[in-house]
Structure 1
Amino acid sequence: MRPERRDVREADVPDTRHGFWWREFPGEEASVPAARAWARGLLAVRLAPGTLDDVLLLLSELVTNAVAHSDSGRTAGGRVTVHLGDDPGGVHVEVTDDGSATSAPAVHVPDADDDGGRGLWLVALLATAWGTSRHDGEAGRSVWFRMAHR
């Protein structure tokens, strides 16, 4: 469940009645720690420390992938949108990017000496559920995960 998309660049859009927020970030590497800090600020009082650490790790991986493997990080003005939801059943995180004609999200089992390639593997390993979707009639795609409260 996502709110109607509006042209909001760096502003939080809270719906505190439902524990739901979203924010757009530039499609650049600096957005990884910025998204992580934003999410920490919203979720630190809601989640147990171990759950928070896992959510922030997986969020970092998804934003990194969006910047590195989509048009969000390859074109001027590219954007990455992060949606956060928290309800009694768990935390839902969705990262939407500008899509790519040359790559799609896929889990790769990394070798022990690989420098990267662990993002979706970690998501699949740690999340309660996860998935991807393309946006019909629009450029872009989303990768989401759900983490149960512990």
Structure 2
Amino acid sequence: MPLHADRSNSTVTVHHGWFYGRPDQVAAVRAFVADRLGGCPVVDDAVLLTSELATNAIQHSPSGLPEAGFGVLIEHEHGRSVRITVHDGGSYLDAPYVAQPEPDAEHGRGLFLVDVLATSWGSHATLSGRKTWFLIDE
């Protein structure tokens, strides 16, 4: 559902998707972001970073339990920025953090990529889980 608002002659488009907390859904998340951002110049980075947050939601929160899931919110201010939020079943206590994996480690680089490629990012607890977001300037 697109939402268009006048903000200094820019257009803001908002999309929301819900995904089951299964590993096969990460590909669906990638396709969702790629489709909704179309020709946006930062679409590739947005797809990669959303994929990392979706994987974290499945692996590190109750969103990965059977029949659970997570939401993805895309806010695109055309010509300015893209903000994507993943809302999962995370807790008040377990905030995501940037790990320092060993060079040959197979896991642990997701938030490192977010930290490097995003303009800014953050996470906060809500009554219904945790929201982790990133912002990329166009």
**Same fold, judged at TM 0.5 (above):** yes
Equivalent-residue separation in structure 2 for 1:70 and 1:123 (angstroms): 18
Aligned to 1:120: 111
Aligned to 1:85: 75
Matched, 1:140 2:134: no
The answer to whether the 8 A contact 2:92-2:130 is kept is no
TM-score (norm 2): 0.88
Matched, 1:28 2:18: no
Helix, strand or coil at the partner of 2:132: strand
Helix, strand or coil at the partner of 1:111: coil
The answer to whether the 8 A contact 1:69-1:103 is kept is no
Equivalent-residue separation in structure 2 for 1:147 and 1:69 (angstroms): 24
Aligned to 1:65: 56
The answer to whether the 8 A contact 2:124-2:130 is kept is yes
TM-score (norm 1): 0.81
Question: Structure 1: where are the runs of 5+ without partners?
Answer: 1-13
Equivalent-residue separation in structure 2 for 1:41 and 1:30 (angstroms): 18
Opposite residue 26 of structure 2, the aligned amino acid is V
* Deviations 1:54-109, CA, capped at 9 Å, x for gaps: 111101000000000000002x3211100001103200000010114774311102
After TM superposition, where is structure 1 displaced by more than 2 Å over at least 4 residues in a row? 100-104
Aligned to 1:3: none
Opposite residue 113 of structure 2, the aligned amino acid is L
Equivalent-residue separation in structure 2 for 1:101 and 1:68 (angstroms): 17
Opposite residue 71 of structure 2, the aligned amino acid is T
Helix, strand or coil at the partner of 1:53: helix
Equivalent-residue separation in structure 2 for 1:57 and 1:82 (angstroms): 14
Equivalent-residue separation in structure 1 for 2:96 and 2:111 (angstroms): 8
How many residue pairs end up in the alignment? Answer: 130
Matched, 1:38 2:32: yes
